[in-house]
Amino acid sequence: MTVTAPVAVAPSRLVAPLTADPPRPDARGRRLPALDLLRFVAALGVAIFHLAAVAGTGGVHIWGRPAEEVFGWFYRIAAYGWVGVPFFFMISGFVICMTAWGRTPEQYLVSRFVRLFPALWVCATITTLVTMAYPRVFTPVPFRALAANLFLLEDPLGTPRIDDVYWTLWLELKFYLLFLAVVWIGVTYRNVVAFCLLWSVSSVLAAEIGQPWLDTLVMRENSHYFIAGVAFYLIHRCGPRLELWLLIGLSWALAMHYYEGNPWQAGHGMSYTPSSVVVTVCFGILALLALHRLDWIRWRPLAVLGTATYPFYLLHYVVGFALIHFVRQHTTIGPVPLLALALVVLTGAAILVNRRVEQPIAGRLRAAFARRR
């Protein structure tokens, strides 16, 4: 087998992680359906960005010609779908803090492992089989690279990724490990605020120190999104407080600084003004969630979308590219209906993966860890 070689350029900073647990009951014992909705909308935006904008660039256009010609004005909208990335990171900070509250370090680590890996194993297998059966868009990775991907070791070991979106999982895993320090000493308001403050200061100093190892540790170009999400959860749980709004304000200021390095915008001459507005709107939406202004969203089917968002994210890129390329080669369906069809198929596949495979595997793992305890 040959090394993965995507025929469409996919900047590695344009996909976001979705490995946080589906929203659980909050401090008042209620579920947060709004988080399910926000997660899926963000995932949908990233998927449209890849399938309608990124997929039209590179050596082979899966649409047959450049995306600007295929989608016209819609391309200008789809090209900003990458803003789902910071939104995902903020949601992750919110949810991880929520799910870690009251857990022991062992319980926390088990919950992270069970949430992260079963879906990864299933979707990595599906993606590999798709590349083997239809290598015209992507080619399979070597077996050793596949083994590394199954345990999220591809980036630290420098092996090819099965799917370019997997880079975000490594950042997510590092966030889990950093937050483990809080769980270890006890998840309290004071400890979480201290953690956010220390991480913020370390991220700012890392820019001045200029040491690669420190950048790798604190993730200075993305840490502010996680920190903002954690602070928003503290507001949701404990009420608005000045120190939390200051943390969020600092995170927003850092976001305004770092997102300008987005390679997609830099490489395609896209205006930064819409990005500034949309990133700010993402902060505003989470502020509404934190202040319980979205508690009116209670539609139960949103839980289905929330639990399927992570598999959807893992499948949408390589499998989505292959699906569109295959259908376009064998039918005359138009690009807009084909894009809609691909999104529906990917959503249905993600729901099936979650219900029929991921949840049973996760349940058995939880039972095995419980028996060991």
Q: pLDDT tens-digit profile of 309-350?
A: 999 999 999 999 999 999 998 888 999 999 999 999 999 999
pLDDT for the residue numbered 21: 52
Gap between the Cα atoms of 210 and 214, Å rounded: 8
> Is residue 82 situated within a structural domain?
yes
In the structure, what pLDDT confidence band is assigned to residue 14 with cuts at 50, 70 and 90? very low
Residue 22 is assigned to a structural domain of this protein: no
pLDDT computed for residue 234 by the predictor? 98
HSE-up (13 A, CA, CB side) for residue 271: 7
Q: What is the rounded distance in angstroms from the CA atom of residue 213 to the CA atom of residue 197?
A: 20
Q: Which residue has the tokens 């789809």?
A: 78
Rg (CA), the chain: 20
**For the chain, what percent of residues have pLDDT higher than 70?**
89
195, 182 in Cβ contact below 8 A? yes
- CA distance to 26, 129, 171, 204, 328, per residue, from 156 (Å): 35, 24, 11, 24, 37
For range 253-272, the mean pLDDT: 77
Residue 10 lies in a domain: no
pLDDT range class, residue 166, cuts 50, 70, 90:
very high
Count of structural domains, the chain: 1
Q: What does the pLDDT average to over 92-114?
A: 94
Q: What pLDDT, on a 0 to 100 scale, did the predictor assign at position 272?
A: 79
Residue 25 domain flag: no
Containing structural domain, residue 54: 33-372
Mean pLDDT across 37-61:
85
Query: How much is the average pLDDT of 81-107?
Result: 93
The rounded percent of the chain whose pLDDT value lies above 90 is 66
Question: Is the residue at 247 inside a domain?
Answer: yes
Let me know how long the chain is.
Answer: 373
* Residue 190 belongs to some domain of the structure: yes
Is the Cβ–Cβ distance between 17 and 171 less than 8 Å? Answer: yes
Determine the pLDDT at residue 122. 95
Where are the alpha helices (H) located in 101-166, listed in sequence order?
105-133, 143-149, 154-157
Determine, yes or no, domain membership for 20: no
C-beta separation of 84 from 42 below 8 A = yes
Between CA 221 and CA 173 the distance in angstroms is 16
Residue 8 lies in a domain: no
- Whether residue 120 contacts residue 147, with contact meaning beta carbons closer than 8 Å, is answered with no
Instruction: Return the pLDDT at 267.
Output: 74
Rounded Cα distance between 219 and 206, Å, is: 9
- Mean pLDDT of the 129-140 span: 91
Tokens representing 262 are 């987005």
For the chain, count helices (H), then strands (E): 18, 0
3-class secondary-structure state, position 138:
coil
